[in-house]
Amino acid sequence: FIDLDNFKAVNDTLGHDMGDQLLAQVAARLVASVREADTVARFGGDEFVVMLEALAPDIQDAATQAETVAEKLLASLNQPFELDGGQHYSTPSIGITLFGDERLSVDELLKRADLAMYQAKAAGRNTQRFFDPDMQAAVNARSNLEADLRQGLARGELLVHYQPVVDHQARLLGAEALVRWRHPQRGMISPAEFIPLAEQTGLILPLGQYVLQTACEQLQRWSQQSATAHLSISVNVSARQFRQSGFVAEVLQALRSHQADPRKLKLELTESLLLGDIEDTIARMEQLKGEGVGFALDDFGTGYSSLSYLKRLPLDQVKIDQGFVRDVLTDPNDAAIVRTILALAHSLDLQVVAEGVETAGQLTFLRLHGCEAFQGYLFGRPEPIDKFAADLLAPPASAPAGGAAP
C-alpha cells in the first residue's frame, strides 16, 4: 500500500494538472519496477496498491523479497520528477502485508497494509513498514479504550481531583484540577493514559467541558466562605480544545452559569499551542483576559519555547516542569535551567509555580532562587474535593464545626 507524502501540497501549490501529471509518472515508475506478472493499481487519490505474486513459499524469504521490491520502489520514486519544466521531489510511504496460507478478505488485507503504511508515515515517511499482529493488538486496544472512554464520560466515571498550590510560607493559594477516570473494571486510570487518546478522537471537548464546569462550580462554593473565597483553580486546556471555535464562549458560559469569579480561574496551556496560529492564540487569550481569566504556561521548558512568543503571550504564570525540579539538587544542568527560568520569569513579570516539589531540599533551593509558589507531594497529592477540604481547609480546633467549605 503506497501513499505519496505531502501530495496535497503539490495540488495546492502547483495546481491539479501538475498533481495529475505526478500521479501518472509515479504509476509509470511503479509498473517499471515490478515484474510483468505483478499487479499495480491506483487505489484512489495519491494511493497505489502493488500486489506481488508467487513469492518464495517460506514466509521469511517472502518477506525479504517483498522488502527488496519495496526498497526498489522507494529508490525509484525518490528520483526527481519532471513537472512544469522543473524538477520536483516526491516521496512515498509504503505499508506491506503478506498473505497466502491465511484466508483473509480483501478488505482485511488492505486494512493491514494501510495500517503498516501509517506506521511508515509515523516513522518519518519515505520508508516502508510491515504489518505485524502486535500492531493490530495495539490498534484494537486503542479502539476499545476509545469506546470505553466515550461510555465513561456518559456514565459519569470521570472525576476531578484537586492538588494544592501554596506560597513560600506554605499557605494555600488554590488548586490544580486534575481529571481521573474511575473505570469500572480497571480502577483509577491516570490522565496520562487517556488524555492523548481523548485529544486524537475529539473526546477532549466534552471531557474538557466537564472539568471546566466542575471547577467553576467549586469556585462558586469556595466563594461563599471567607476562609476559601481567595482560592483559585487552575484547569488544564489541551491545544485542540483551546483552538475549537466556541472555546472562549464556552469558558465564559461555564463561569456565568455557576456565577464563578473569572479572576479565580486560571487556564493552563502548553507550549504546543505556540506551534499553531499564534495570532489567533493571542486574540483568544486577550478576550478571556479581558473578563479576568488568568493564564499559565504549563510544563515550561519541555517544549517549543520561543522567548519572543513568550513575551507576546498575555501570560500570568509559568509552571516549571517537574522534570527539572526532580533533580534540581543533583543535576547541575537542571539547577541551571531552573535558575534561568526563574530569572527570565521575573524579568517578564510572570509568577512562577514549581511543579513536582517532593522534598524540603528542593523547596529550599527553589525559594533561594526566588520561586514563590509550589505544587507537589510535599504539600499534598491530588485528592477528591472532600479529602482536599479535610486536609487543607479544616478549621482550627477553636472554630465552630462546619466552618470549612466542602
Partner from ligand C2E, Mg ion, none contacting 356, C-beta within 5 to 8 A by type: ligand C2E
Choose among Mg ion, ligand C2E, none what residue 358 binds, the Cβ cut-off being 5 to 8 Å by kind: ligand C2E
Binding partner selected for residue 190 from ligand C2E, Mg ion, none, CB under the kind-specific 5 to 8 Å limit? ligand C2E
Residue from 179, 219, 313, 405 touching ligand C2E (CB under 6 A): that is: 179
Burial of 170-207, coded b for 16+ CB within 10 Å and e otherwise, reads eebbbbbbbbbbebeeeeebebeebbebbbebebbbeb
Which among ligand C2E, Mg ion, none contacts residue 5 (Cβ within 5 to 8 A by kind)?
none
β strands within 184-275, DSSP E: 187-189, 232-236, 265-269
371 binds ligand C2E (CB under 6 A): no
Please report, as ranges, the residues that interact with Mg ion according to CB under 5 A.
236, 268, 298-299, 355
Q: Binding string, 292-331, against ligand C2E, x = CB under 6 A?
A: ------xx----------------------x---------
Residue among 115 and 173 whose Cβ is closer to ligand C2E = 173
Instruction: Answer yes or no whether residue 195 interacts with ligand C2E by CB under 6 A.
Output: yes
Q: Residue 339, class by beta-carbon neighbours within 10 Å (0-12 exposed, 13-18 middle, 19+ buried)?
A: middle
Q: Which three cell numbers stand for residue 128?
A: 516502508
Mapping DSSP onto H, E and C, the string for 35-49 reads CCCCEEEEEECCEEE
Site residues for ligand C2E, 200-229, by CB under 6 A, read 208, 211
Rounded distance between C-alpha atoms, residue 5 and residue 90, angstroms = 7
> Closer CB to Mg ion, residue 385 or residue 405?
385
As a whole number of Å, the CA-based R_g of the chain is 27
Binding-site partner at residue 92 among ligand C2E, Mg ion, none, CB < 5 to 8 Å by type: none
Residue 26 near ligand C2E by CB under 6 A: no
Dihedral sign for Cα 373, 285, 206, 270, please.
Answer: negative
The C-alpha cell at 1 is: 500500500
Residue 4 binds ligand C2E (CB under 6 A): no
**In Å, how far are 24, 64, 169, 254, 262 from 49, measured between CA atoms?**
14, 18, 66, 50, 55
CB atoms within 10 A of CB 211: 23
Scanning 19-27, 165-173, 233-241, 281-289 for contacts with ligand C2E by CB under 6 A, the matching segment is 233-241
> Nearer Cβ to ligand C2E, position 3 or 321?
321
236 binds ligand C2E (CB under 6 A): yes
Cβ burial, residue 368 (10 Å; 0-12/13-18/19+): exposed
Q: What is the DSSP letter of 400?
A: P
Give me the residues that bind ligand C2E (CB under 6 A), please.
163, 178-179, 190-192, 195, 208, 211, 236-238, 268, 298-299, 322, 355-358, 375-377, 382
